[in-house]
Amino acid sequence: MQISPGYITVLMFGLMFLLMAFGLPISFVLGGAALFFAIFFWGPASMDIVILNASNLMNSSILVAVPLFVFMAYMLEKSGVAEDLYEAMHRWMGPVRGGLAAGSVIGCTLIAAMSGISTTGVLMMGIIGLPAMLRRRYDKYIAMGSIMAGGALGPLIPPSLVLIVYAMISGESVGKLFLGGVVPGLLLSSMFLIYIFGVCYFNESLGPALAAEERANWNQKIASLKGLIFPLLLIAGVLGTLFLGIATPTEAAAVGAFGSIISAVINRRLTWKILNGVNKLTLKTVAMVMWIIFGAGCFAAIYQGLGVAAWIQKMVTSLPVSKWTILILIQIVWIILGCLMDSLSILMITMPVFLPVIKFLNIDLLWFGILFVVNTEMGYLTPPFGVNLFVMRGIAPKEITTLDIYWAATPFILLQAICVALVMLFPSLATFLPRLM
């Protein structure tokens, strides 16, 4: 059956969005749509294509690092690291206007560098930090926004599950991609801090400083620094071994997983119950991630097999526009999709279409990958399907409405958009550290 590539695009993505509107899981939406159109256009024999594609994805050695990093994130969540981090931030930054909100961002930044998962930072800092800030009359929008935005740093600051999957698709080095995310991640974290300190400086009621009787003395401040020692050692162990070329990404992930167990032992949190719970959570998360990868991978393979990707590439490259116009259009597509699905699904669906175009335009694939992650970070905060919004809804007090949570995220979404523009205008932000490897 001969159907134009334009109609195929409308049919495939139309069915995908229709199934999503019915509330079906994204992995089954993508996989189901792929199977339907494969059989519709090529007949039952096309099942072999779907099976072969899933098998090739399953055998990717790069993906071995995924369960190790997920295990590390969940073990750190149970090991008491968050309590120690928040205690240190509370004692050092509490006396400053907006200090507790800024401390939450710093805590989420460190958690991001240990876990690579967005929701981990929101849960770990939100459960502890949000009640503490609301109890001290912090503005609810600043309190919630700082935690949600800080948590969104997880996929950008290494280790990052999204960058691991991008490396599998693009062929780029995982280690270089990890290092490429460091400077943009710290830049975005700094922008959050400047915003929080700025608005609280001009309006103290948004983030009042701790009362004199609540402030820690110097002995208490110095004592709290022990809570930063192990997180910093763990970060150095994972990123340091990658940067120095001592370990592969999978080996670095194993170092991080082992380090998280040691952290639980030191904090006397390692029990069979916790270990069993962490293993189950890891299995559940990895299964979800892998099903998304399989479903989206099959969808992209069928889409490419029907010749649509090649048609789009030819159409885009023949347009009388600069590569910057094409890059901006790609950013807009990602922002729209970020409101509807998670970053892994966006990655698996769009990269097989966009990468040939990017290669033709001779654009650095490492920079393009970092640009993707910085952009899709907004998706964690944009309604209606921002993951961090749902997590915050689960931990926020009942009197806080869903609309309040949306408004809390808004200024931080704008800061993320500014960061996207900066990384676009100054590619060295993403490529500087990888060049040193």
Q: pLDDT per position in the chain (437 positions), as tens?
A: 567 777 887 888 888 888 877 877 877 888 888 888 888 887 777 777 777 777 777 777 677 778 888 888 788 777 777 777 777 877 888 788 888 888 888 888 888 777 767 777 787 778 888 888 888 888 999 999 999 998 888 888 887 888 888 988 888 888 889 889 999 999 999 999 999 999 998 998 898 888 777 777 878 888 877 777 777 787 788 777 777 778 777 888 888 888 888 888 887 888 888 889 889 988 888 888 788 888 877 887 787 777 777 777 777 777 777 888 889 989 998 998 888 888 888 888 888 888 888 888 889 999 999 999 999 989 889 887 788 888 888 888 888 888 999 999 999 999 999 999 999 999 999 998 888 76
How many domains does one find in the chain? 1
Q: Residue 79's domain spans which residues?
A: 5-435
Contact between 104 and 125 (Cβ < 8 Å): yes
Nearest to 221, CA basis, from 94, 100, 97, 110: 94
Nearest to 181, CA basis, from 132, 128, 242, 105: 242
Q: What end-to-end distance do the CA atoms of the chain give, in Å?
A: 51
Q: Please tell me the predicted confidence (pLDDT) of residue 421.
A: 94
The tokens for 165 are 């999957």
